[in-house]
Amino acid sequence: SAEQRAAALAREQNTPPAKSIVRGRAVYDETGRPVRRAAIMLLSTNPRGGGGEQAGLTNARGEFVLRNVRAGKYFVMVNVPGAITPISFIDLNEVRSDSFDFDEIRQHFEEVTVDGINMVNVEVRAKRGAAISGRVSYADGDPAINVQIALMRKKDSRTARFLSNNIGAAMLLGMRTDDRGMFRVTGLPPGDYYVSASEPVVHGDAGDGQSIAVPSMGMVMGGMGAGDSLVDTYYKDATSEKEASVIHVELGQEASDINFTLIERPTYRLRGVVRAKRGGRPVARARINIERKDVAPTFNPFTQESGVAQTDEQGRFSLNEIPDGTYTLTVEPPYDYGGGEGSDSEYMSGNMNMNTNTSRIPEGTAVVTATRPREPRFVRKQQEVKVAGAEQTNIIVELAQGGSIAGTVVMENGTPLPRTANIVVKAELVGAQEPLEGSSGGDYVAPGNNQFTIESLPVGSFYLNAYVPAGEEGTGNKYYVKSIILNSSDLTRDPITLQEGQTITGVRVVLAADAATLTGRVVASGEDKRPLSNRIALVVPAEATKRRRRSTQHYERTDGEGAFTLNLPPGEYLIILLPKGTGGAGALLSEEAINQSAANTVTRVTLGSNERKNVDITASGEN
């Protein structure tokens, strides 16, 4: 959330100068021999990454020096083939939700404390991870060459894709079989794994029989890195994770002879048309994604804005080599329907204002450019498709015309808006468990402007929210929404309802700049008051009518000191400590669920304007 990013900035501002030197030596854990000419990295143990990162190289004796290190706690990582690294334990879905579970990492890596001023000496021990190796072949015995290998590690009740410990091509492009069909994956954390193999398949084209000639970088990276879940073969002789055999490995062990044969299955072609719901006009340049409905999607940062197919000028698309199964088609409309100035291709190729820091704008937020579209925008749509032994040649996807909400952003008391910061304005669909995806959902007001337009919104009721992203000239953490008014309605309390294609204007967003800072610390009950890391605190307004929106439900994961920091509007709040192992942080909780959670551990706190308050929360249980 914006508040979480603001909290990270607040912690950065309160640290001593980044003048520490971290000096040390990297050796192999089992032999004590130096790790020569290897990359060394400091990875912050702060769940929000507030401590910063540093990198360097070891010399021929395994020695290294890292300068200008900021105060904080770090894992010291040595990046050498075969050794485990903290990155190998990371679940990409946790990356997406902006939260990390560091408990398991702490079992294998020591933390280093840096005060930002003095020198720190460390010895880094590279621990040999597990390995899985084998051969992939075709039914006729030929080696399956250049086939992508994916490892999914079982973690609690789900699986997480293993990231190679080689920070480079192997991480981004994936692990592949060699010219003999052989593969060997090293540096694995201990645990249970599924192994799958998939051939590179081009599933999509532009609907006219021509493959997409110039795929985006996301499509290249995604296609090469994510594998192809539509035609996966799992060890041993399975077509799904549910049927696959589990491979268990411990540190230093190798599971060899993991040999399996790619399963051949009939595949079919799907053809269809994307058109406007109103009037039936074809929608060109729409992106088409297809996913198996019975497989939980795995987040891949390189494929979020890409598609496997694209509609042509007649709205046609084609998907190739699709096996039997039930699928979800996701149709992402072009940024601008109609072509010409301000079109999707121009938007993607350089019409964006490169002076703005769009990396801080959250997923689902549209970028405001100088040129506005002249044609209607459409709403992203998902549609189920079943394949059962035959081609489908008449798939029709109708896109509804999107609505829009427009208005202005001002500061209370008539003071000027921050001149060096972007202001994000978001729409939140009432009752939705997740934020709006794709190009709809938000807009941002660039410095020197106070206008916003949120477009491509589906039919429904919406709350509005606005904030200044943390890090914008060090000011983002102090701003919050005072009110959002349309006529006499406050849209922070009362949702606004949109019909298909409807435009609502005249919304007035008022920001204030006196946010409070809340720092919580979760400690174990008993005399030692041990800090509890990796616990999730839910912070919500005490008044029930103020916590109906997702943006008012703040999930904060405690760091290594059991602490979290959050910037909030003045008011009264409940801090609810969720049970350890709680998943789904970030989802909208119902009032009933909040009340049930509050029955466990709840702390009430009142925050004043510009107040900084520290709160200790006592909880039972172990880390």
Residues 189 and 250 in one domain: yes
pLDDT higher than threshold 60 for residue 71: yes
Q: How remote is the C-alpha of 177 from its chain's centroid?
A: 29
Identify the pLDDT of residue 61.
Answer: 97
Residue in 586, 427, 611 with CA at minimum distance from that of residue 4: 586
d(CA 522, CA 536): 10
Q: Is 471 a member of any domain?
A: yes
Share of the chain above pLDDT 70, in %: 74
User: CATH number for the domain including 324?
Assistant: 2.60.40.1120
Residues 502 and 591 in one domain: no
pLDDT higher than threshold 60 for residue 14: no
Residues 6+ apart with CB under 8 A from 339: 284
Q: Is 365 a member of any domain?
A: no
pLDDT higher than threshold 60 for residue 364: no
Residues 520 and 498 in one domain: no
Using DSSP's 3-state secondary structure scheme, residue 242 falls into helix
Identify the pLDDT of residue 296.
Answer: 63
d(CA 588, CA 338): 36
Domain of residue 492 covers 402-512
Dihedral in degrees, nearest 10, Cα atoms 472, 475, 477, 480: -100
Q: Is 230 a member of any domain?
A: yes
The pLDDT of 55-75, averaged and rounded, is 92
Lowest mean pLDDT among 267-281, 282-296, 360-374, 397-411: 360-374
Identify the pLDDT of residue 526.
Answer: 77
Residues 6+ apart with CB under 8 A from 200: 146, 147, 148, 223, 224, 228
d(CA 191, CA 377): 47
- 267 phi and psi angles, rounded to 5 deg: -125, 160
Write the pLDDT tens digit of every residue in 229-238. Answer: 688 999 998 9
Say which DSSP state 596 is in.
H
Q: Determine the residue type at 249.
A: V
Residues 324 and 447 in one domain: no
Write the pLDDT tens digit of every residue in 516-543. Answer: 999 999 998 877 778 888 888 889 999 9
Q: Per the structure, how many domains does the chain have? A: 4
457 DSSP β-pair partners: 403
* pTM attached to this predicted model: 0.76
pLDDT band at residue 17, thresholds of 50, 70 and 90? low
Domain endpoint, select from 459, 492, 512: 512
pLDDT band at residue 509, thresholds of 50, 70 and 90? very high
Residues 247 and 136 in one domain: yes
Q: Is 341 a member of any domain?
A: no
Using DSSP's 3-state secondary structure scheme, residue 317 falls into strand
Average pLDDT, rounded, for the chain? 79
Residues 300 and 154 in one domain: yes
Residues 499 and 522 in one domain: no
Dihedral in degrees, nearest 10, Cα atoms 241, 247, 252, 256: -110
CA angle (390 as vertex; 389, 394 as ends), nearest 5: 145
pLDDT higher than threshold 90 for residue 549: no
Question: Which burial class, exposed, middle or buried, applies to 346 when counting CB atoms under 10 A from its CB (0-12, 13-18, 19+)?
Answer: middle
- What's the number of CA atoms in the CB half-sphere (13 Å) around residue 293? 13
